[in-house]
Structure 1
Amino acid sequence: MKVASDKPFEIVYSLFNHEFLGILFESFAVQLDEKGRLSFAYQNISYQNAREFEERLDDTDLELIKLMDSMQQEAIVKKYNVKNNKPKEFLRKVFDKEHSIQSHKEVQKLIEAKLEITRAKILEKIQQKRLFEMGNDGNPVWKEIAVMPEKASVLFHFRRNEENTHYFPTIKYQGEKIEWQYKGSYLICNQPAWLVVDAMLVSFEKAVDGKKLLPFLSKKFIVIPRKVEDSYYRKFVTQLVASFDVYAKGFEIKVARDNPEPVLYLGELQGNPSVDMFGKKISADEEEKMVFDLRFKYGDYSFKADQVKPTNVELEKIGDEYIFYKVVRDLKKESFYGNYLKENGLSVRTGRQSMPKREAYEWIINHRPELDDLGIKIQQTANEKGKNYFIGAAKITVRINEKIDWFDVEAVVTFGDFEISFQKFRKLLLKGKSEIELPNKEIGIIPKSWFVNYGEIFSFIEEEQNEDGNFKLKKHHIALAQELEKGNLLKLGLSERLNKLKDFSTIDDYPLSNFFKGTLRPYQKAGYNWMRFLNEYNFGGCLADDMGLGKTVQTLALLAMEKERSEGTTSLLVMPTSLIYNWELEARKFTPKLKILIYTGTQRIKDCSQFGRYDLVLTSYGITRLDIDILKEFYFNYIILDESQAIKNPDSIISKAVVQLKSNHKLILTGTPVENGTMDLWSQINFINRGLLGGQAAFKKQFLLPIEKKNDKDKILKLNAMIKPFILRRLKSQVATDLPEKVINVKYSTMTPDQEQAYEEVKNYFREKIIDEASLPGKSQKSLTLLRGLTQLRQMANHPKMADENYKGDSGKLEDISHMVKSTVSEGHKVLIFSQFVRHLSIVKSFLNEEKIPFAYLDGATVDRQKQVASFQENPDIKVFLISLKAGGVGLNLTKAEYVFLLDPWWNPAVEAQAIDRAHRIGQKNKVIIYKFITRNSVEEKIMALQERKMALAGELISTEESFIKSLNQEDIAALLD
């Protein structure tokens, strides 16, 4: 009967019993009479016509209708009815019990499984919908079934007597017992159980299996005879006790709810092969592996970590009595322990893990404090060789004291309470032995890191001991001693410092010295206060303000106070050579009372005793590297590194030199603390606060790789939290609100025909070369080829003459640059022109000479830097300043410029920002307009797009050419060379 959708109606659901498929559901629209009651006018709804009744349909209705459609006989047989029989006939054959064949049985199982899953989905969604039993005449609203909103509970009863055991379930809803047996109740679904009783549809807690209730619909209880009792109890009742609530008479159920006690069992991996797959003998260290196995103890019971069950039941029979021990496990806590071990390199949550013996014991030694704190016990299992390994704390302490002609080496090695003879230990280490027998006959494993850190330096120690009983190390091995010091021997209580820092929520306002002649802006005064705070608590710091915010003047204010408070002390300021003159000028201006020594030049007096006559020594990184033996002999008050990115590579000579300098305090200044990658940060922080970020290898594993390879936001946040107290970084946009506006424009240039032809030839050459090398092993050659190709393409995008001196054509970019330079100069404006290619500047220089436009010029070979700066700043006739990126990206104050031209895009936007900040800084009164020149349809445009996508790490972790190329995949390379 048709239902009018423009008149009142209601959506209902009806269940009926199909002769083959069991209980199915259908959806209906039922017309309402004038009193709002369900009438006898109804219409079946399918998903196809449901939209006619969308006024009363919600998303759940649409899902229900779709599910119900999928369980109708036509839909069910469609997949299996290959002969296209009528659905009823097909089902009759499949469900024929008398003439059933194996293939029919398999199809029957598949159909029943699908229907069971669909019923469970429907019943979960049918809450708050109207559900009916269908009448025999097809009336969909014959009898309404109330869907009960809460879940019922089932209690399984066992009554054991002398002859048998009676077993039956009882059901309660909201605490009231439901009479459900012998009342025409029936199950709609088994997995999980949904039961219709007295026109109510009931679901159950703990996902009860309907098959456990089915026998009792028409049976009061089940009898378990004594002869099968033991087997029945062990196979069936233990499972029931584990999963559900059970009430028993005649046997006991003991329930334990203890906290899990994690135990990490350690044993040797049995059956290790002595030869590899090629028949080569495996060394002892490679051959022997250890196995970690995590278990959880609950009282007297122990469970493997990979056997994850909410409860475990053990059955014990004493005489004629049965006792069920039910252990309720705390899976949340178990998961916590398992996850902790996994995060720390031990994946034992889902099974055992093996690793080489030395690595296994090194893991224990490294993590033992945390394991003890968490209550994770380590227990060794018996092994065939009868060895018992030491699994306590192992420690090595080495002190190197300088004598006249050598170093004294003192070393203490301990395994727990046992101190080992260093002479014996050293011999084992040099022989590569990984085991050492302790006085209690336990075997100690020498950590792999000790071999890495001390192997070389111990090999140079002389055999004979001196009169003090110490070993001697010749002085020319100082570099090795430095490495050892950097990695292990600086005893800084960093954890205590960090804990102490938490107690300070604000920084005091410190007075300025009378020796400081100047005025600090509010944010500069805050920077001064921060440095004084670090001084007070003996911390090193990194002042990382944006270029142009006055790091120099803040530092001079600090040094002025140091002269007042600590008269007679000397501080050392190390910087690039090009900045020495600027520092001297600024110091004379703001701190005229400071006695300053310029320690540079070939005529310098190489004698550290002279330093004591000065308040401040200014020197360069180059001189520091050359004269480290002199500088390290003097104990400075402050050591300050300007443009400290110079020590970003911890393995460089200058980095190894500056860590030898001695002082009360350390400070670094930089506008770009991170240039190439995260390791830059480690090197500089390790200089000012040794050990704060751990060792170099540990830092790489814990931070560098997760941040740079996986863009792990949690690691970035953790790293920022660790360094935050020791780095002060303010952006111009945050503090220098009085700076004029900065406008950045991108000027797209089009290649000339000659230029485009030259560009395509280079591109095709390198594309073919890279394809040819794609099959070669290793990455270094391919990376080098790609780097060469990209560099040449970038030169072609600027001007092909940069790569080919015989090129006679022109350049689209040069035409645009020439036009804009002439226009800017004619209007009386001053412009800075930056390029990272000196050849490009030479081409522009030729144009300026032809046009008779005077200019200042600065690259790495320029001797009179300050003269060039002064002529641009003070001479009104000089409107143009050509500057190479490396020579002029830092240390220049060029506030007379109103325009900045960036001739070629740079890999590191932070360095680009530094160039812009030569003009956009404190003292600038005019709007600064920046033009970035990009050649269309060239590698420049594509590199910028790739950088945006690949280098978007939080903060400023930007890569250079080499690391950028390492990050490229085949698709990226194809895009660049397309």
Structure 2
Amino acid sequence: MARGSQRGRPQQQRRKGAANRPRRDEEGIIPILARAVREVESAVARRSAMPEVRTKFQVVALLAREERNRVKDDESLSDAKRADELKRLDGIATILAQTAARDSTLFTLLAEDAEISDSAKDLRREMLRRAGVEVEEEPEPEAVEEDLATAQRRVVPQSVLSRQLANPFLTPDFTAAAPRNVHPRRLAGWELLEPLFRSFEQADKGAPSSMELPEPSSLQTPTGRELMLHQAQVVAAAAEGHRTFLLADEPGLGKTAQALLAAHAANAYPLLVAVPNVVKTNWGREVGLWTPDKKVTVLHGDGNDVDGFADVFVVNYEILDRHLGWLGTHGFRGMVVDEAHYIKNKTSQRSQNVLEIADRIRARVARPLMMALTGTPLINDIEDFRAIWQFLGWIDEKKPLGDLMECLEETGLVPTDPGFFRAARQCVLEQGIVRRRKIDVASDIPARRVADLPVELEGEAGRSIRKAEAELARRMVERYDRALQTRTSGVVVDGIDHDLVRRVATWEREETASNNGENVFGMLRRIGQAKAGLAADYTAQLARNVGKVVFFAKHIDVMDLAEETFASRGIQYSSIRGDQTTPVRQRNIDAFVNDPEVHVAVCSLTAAGVGINLQVASNLVLAELSWTDAEQTQAIDRVHRIGQTEPVTAWRVIATQTLDTRIAELIDRKAGLAARALDGAGEEAEGAIDLQTEALVALLTAALEEREGAAR
């Protein structure tokens, strides 16, 4: 690749000064990346994707992306030099894509929220130094620890200090048997985390989706409330001594009640509950409903009104950093993480705070009750399991721990053996994965359906959107043609080169993200704005004909327009948004649920899509498309849950002849991930896909097919 850029120069010019200076195409970071990517390609071709190979693949991709942006912005380069550098970088990108095609798990390393390990950071610095680039050193560990200690001292509420003074000798609790520190034997030297994740991606049809649970002795709570069988089973498991649960029941099956009653059965008090802000108040209410003998305190801000002597402490993710110090030493015997998919990105501060508190609880209590609650543990990829499993103590950064490692050893299998994936998946399930579907355990809940409602965008807004899509497609077609013309690999593809289509779509997404150009996110928002009036009109008709309706949208301006429409029609509505205070939000929820005159709840998909009960309605309108099936499902399950007495219909408003249609299809395809990995559905469905890139792929492919059809 490096020699290729010298072609076309006069022979005399190439020789001039060769003995006195390095060749220009061997300077800088590009030749280093070219050699590294060939090493990765060779290793993967030998089916050797060991951790160091994966690390090198990720670092090459990151540095190539950085170098591409630098070259494009470097005004000192001539047009010819810039084109030459970009061409060499395209060659590296081509090899990366071909390599990832051999091992699809490498694609997860290219995601925007992919974790960058310490070894990857070290390799990146080493490559940059070899290229002659000055690299800023990482802060010394002592400084990091000092900063953390300072952060931990930020807030200690007075009531907590009083509790500490009342219990000055609060000692660690190791009365239960400490977890075993199991060292790998047969599996020593094997990379095990990736095979564990893959064991869920490759689940057989009909494979179990839940650990075995005991039969409960009673379906009543200590206060006489009735439980459903599936709820009582989890409580019975906690009573028998099981202490870690990934409670992944479908939304609407009462996970909050199960967690609170499991804590009661395990006597896991004081109990810490970390939740999204939108459901914080509701958790306080649920504690009083299911375990009225336990005192609950809900933390707000600096915690000035917190009760340090309470049994249950409810805190939202956003303020965890203010309370890290005392939360880690308060003597909690259990921790619940609600909507646990919120911590899937391990590089986020939210995830790091949760994992740190969990580790400090385990350091003081031998077998604390640890529960992760989420109806949608998989949003984008199997890797979403990683942070949740680490919170539960099943794995650390590099390997399985304790009982999970022992179970894997007892299988007598290694990752290359037939049957390893099936056995490994069962080992993980028995650590505490509990997944039940409504269709299986709550047959009394009426059916639900998603009905697509096609609408035609007319007027200037519709014309503008279609023109923008056409311009985007034209721009990508031109880029595709240029890439074909400058290709040097010698590869000839008959018809549309779908690998190149994907690369062009990826380049387009990366460039529009960096230069604020027209992108799929922006287009989808414009489509949502254009659909807003039509969706609001349909909602108003539903409200007059069937009663209460829930209206979901992603953007504030769409919600504003809908509310204006309802007000002009004389329809009373209640608004549930992310910028509301908790008391205001709860008043608006109560108004929709309890006031017969309030016919519509106008809800934000992000602020009202989790943790609230709106089953007083049986119809909802999805005015804008979500970027994940999980977000769409969460919204529907605000209505389709225990307590619903009527069939539920979600009306999904889709703008025809626009990207809206393609994205709706992509969302439906993406829904297969959870079906296969969690429920053992055995469905042929794609793994991790980036919807923005896939939408661009679909747009470019359609444009190329149309051109080919016209040429015939």
TM category (shorter chain) comes to 0.5 to 0.7
Q: How does 1:724-803 map to 2 (within 5 A)?
A: 724-725=429-430, 726-770=432-476, 779=507, 780-782=510-512, 788-800=518-530
- Find the partner of 1:965 among 678, 692, 699: 692
TM-aligned CA deviation for residue 855 of structure 1: 0.5
Match of residue 646 from structure 1: 342
Q: Relative to 1, partners in 2 of residues 1:478 and 1:762: Cα closer, same or farther, differing over 3 Å?
A: same
Match of residue 264 from structure 1: none
Paired residue total: 493
Q: How does 1:284-363 map to 2 (within 5 A)?
A: 343-345=47-49
Which digits, 9 at most, give the CA deviation of each residue in 1:821-870, with x for residues without a partner? 33322235110011112211111111111111110111111221111111
**For 1:787 and 1:551, how far apart are their aligned partners in 2?**
43
**For 2:49 and 2:641, how far apart are their aligned partners in 1?**
48
Match of residue 666 from structure 1: 370
Which digits, 9 at most, give the CA deviation of each residue in 1:146-187, with x for residues without a partner? xxxxxxxxxxxxxxxxxxxxxxxxxxxxxxxxxxxxxxxxxx
TM-aligned CA deviation for residue 897 of structure 1: 0.3
Q: Relative to 1, partners in 2 of residues 1:715 and 1:831: Cα closer, same or farther, differing over 3 Å?
A: farther
TM-aligned CA deviation for residue 772 of structure 1: 6.7
Code of the aligned partner of 1:618 = V
Compute the RMSD of aligned alpha carbons.
4.7
**For 2:456 and 2:147, how far apart are their aligned partners in 1?**
59
Give the secondary structure class of the aligned counterpart of 2:575.
strand
Does residue 677 of the first structure (1) align with residue 377 of the second (2)? no
Match of residue 553 from structure 1: 257
- Find the partner of 2:285 among 585, 606, 612: 585
Give the secondary structure class of the aligned counterpart of 1:635.
coil
**For 2:280 and 2:379, how far apart are their aligned partners in 1?**
22
Q: Relative to 1, partners in 2 of residues 1:579 and 1:714: Cα closer, same or farther, differing over 3 Å?
A: farther
Match of residue 119 from structure 2: none
Give the secondary structure class of the aligned counterpart of 1:826.
helix
- Find the partner of 1:520 among 227, 232, 255: 227
Q: Relative to 1, partners in 2 of residues 1:974 and 1:618: Cα closer, same or farther, differing over 3 Å?
A: same
- Find the partner of 2:653 among 933, 937, 944: 933
1:524/1:550 contact within 8 Å kept: yes
TM-aligned CA deviation for residue 764 of structure 1: 3.4
Which digits, 9 at most, give the CA deviation of each residue in 1:552-579, with x for residues without a partner? 111121122234xx6xx41111111221
Q: How does 1:230-245 map to 2 (within 5 A)?
A: none
TM-aligned CA deviation for residue 934 of structure 1: 0.9
**For 2:183 and 2:375, how far apart are their aligned partners in 1?**
26
Match of residue 529 from structure 1: 236
Q: Relative to 1, partners in 2 of residues 1:900 and 1:491: Cα closer, same or farther, differing over 3 Å?
A: same
Match of residue 572 from structure 2: 854
Match of residue 975 from structure 1: 702
Give the secondary structure class of the aligned counterpart of 1:639.
strand
Does residue 600 of the first structure (1) align with residue 300 of the second (2)? yes
**For 2:345 and 2:28, how far apart are their aligned partners in 1?**
40
TM-aligned CA deviation for residue 616 of structure 1: 1.1
Match of residue 832 from structure 1: 550
Give the secondary structure class of the aligned counterpart of 1:636.
coil
Match of residue 632 from structure 1: 328
Match of residue 493 from structure 1: 182
**For 2:556 and 2:26, how far apart are their aligned partners in 1?**
59
Code of the aligned partner of 2:249 = D
Match of residue 603 from structure 2: 883
TM-aligned CA deviation for residue 620 of structure 1: 1.1
TM-aligned CA deviation for residue 341 of structure 1: 12
Match of residue 804 from structure 1: none
1:548/1:920 contact within 8 Å kept: yes
TM-aligned CA deviation for residue 881 of structure 1: 0.7
TM-aligned CA deviation for residue 929 of structure 1: 2.2
TM-aligned CA deviation for residue 674 of structure 1: 1.3
**For 2:465 and 2:457, how far apart are their aligned partners in 1?**
9
Match of residue 39 from structure 2: none
Q: How does 1:889-900 map to 2 (within 5 A)?
A: 889-900=609-620
Give the secondary structure class of the aligned counterpart of 1:745.
strand
Which protein, 1 or 2, shows the higher relative CO under an 8 Å CA cutoff with sep ≥ 6? Answer: 2
Q: Which has the higher strand share?
A: 1
Match of residue 723 from structure 1: 428
**For 1:625 and 1:956, how far apart are their aligned partners in 2?**
36
TM-aligned CA deviation for residue 670 of structure 1: 0.8
Q: How does 1:399-410 map to 2 (within 5 A)?
A: none
Match of residue 844 from structure 1: 562
Code of the aligned partner of 1:792 = G
**For 2:559 and 2:437, how far apart are their aligned partners in 1?**
30
Which structure would you say has the larger Rg? 1
Q: TM-score, normalised on structure 1? A: 0.44
Code of the aligned partner of 1:760 = R
Bigger drift between 548-557 and 779-788 goes to 779-788
1:515/1:560 contact within 8 Å kept: no
Q: TM-score, normalised on structure 2? A: 0.60
TM-aligned CA deviation for residue 949 of structure 1: 5.1
Code of the aligned partner of 1:856 = S
TM-aligned CA deviation for residue 526 of structure 1: 1.6
Q: Relative to 1, partners in 2 of residues 1:582 and 1:595: Cα closer, same or farther, differing over 3 Å?
A: same
Match of residue 636 from structure 2: 916
Which digits, 9 at most, give the CA deviation of each residue in 1:92-113, with x for residues without a partner? xxxxxxxxxxxxxxxxxxxxxx
Query: Which runs of 5 or more structure 1 residues have no equivalent in the other structure?
Result: 1-274, 290-338, 347-354, 360-428, 434-454, 463-472, 482-489, 697-712, 801-810
Give the secondary structure class of the aligned counterpart of 2:333.
strand
Does residue 476 of the first structure (1) align with residue 142 of the second (2)? no
**For 2:28 and 2:652, how far apart are their aligned partners in 1?**
63
TM-aligned CA deviation for residue 342 of structure 1: 5.4
Q: How does 1:179-328 map to 2 (within 5 A)?
A: none
**For 1:935 and 1:961, how far apart are their aligned partners in 2?**
26
Give the secondary structure class of the aligned counterpart of 1:627.
helix
TM-aligned CA deviation for residue 817 of structure 1: 4.2
Please list every run of at least 4 consecutive aligned residues from structure 1 whose deviation after the TM superposition is greater than 6 angstroms.
Answer: 275-282, 477-481, 713-716, 772-778, 956-962
1:596/1:617 contact within 8 Å kept: yes
TM-aligned CA deviation for residue 494 of structure 1: 8.2
2:151/2:321 contact within 8 Å kept: no
**For 1:722 and 1:960, how far apart are their aligned partners in 2?**
22
Q: Which has the higher helix share?
A: 2
1:907/1:961 contact within 8 Å kept: no
2:232/2:258 contact within 8 Å kept: yes
**For 2:335 and 2:557, how far apart are their aligned partners in 1?**
38
TM-aligned CA deviation for residue 517 of structure 1: 4.1
Code of the aligned partner of 1:973 = L
Q: Relative to 1, partners in 2 of residues 1:951 and 1:526: Cα closer, same or farther, differing over 3 Å?
A: closer
TM-aligned CA deviation for residue 682 of structure 1: 0.6
**For 1:685 and 1:924, how far apart are their aligned partners in 2?**
33
TM-aligned CA deviation for residue 912 of structure 1: 0.8
Match of residue 270 from structure 2: 570
Q: How does 1:134-213 map to 2 (within 5 A)?
A: none
Q: Relative to 1, partners in 2 of residues 1:474 and 1:625: Cα closer, same or farther, differing over 3 Å?
A: closer
TM-aligned CA deviation for residue 493 of structure 1: 3.0
User: Percent of pairs identical after alignment?
Assistant: 20
1:573/1:640 contact within 8 Å kept: yes
Give the secondary structure class of the aligned counterpart of 2:253.
coil
Give the secondary structure class of the aligned counterpart of 1:894.
coil
Q: How does 1:382-421 map to 2 (within 5 A)?
A: none
1:854/1:880 contact within 8 Å kept: yes
1:517/1:591 contact within 8 Å kept: no
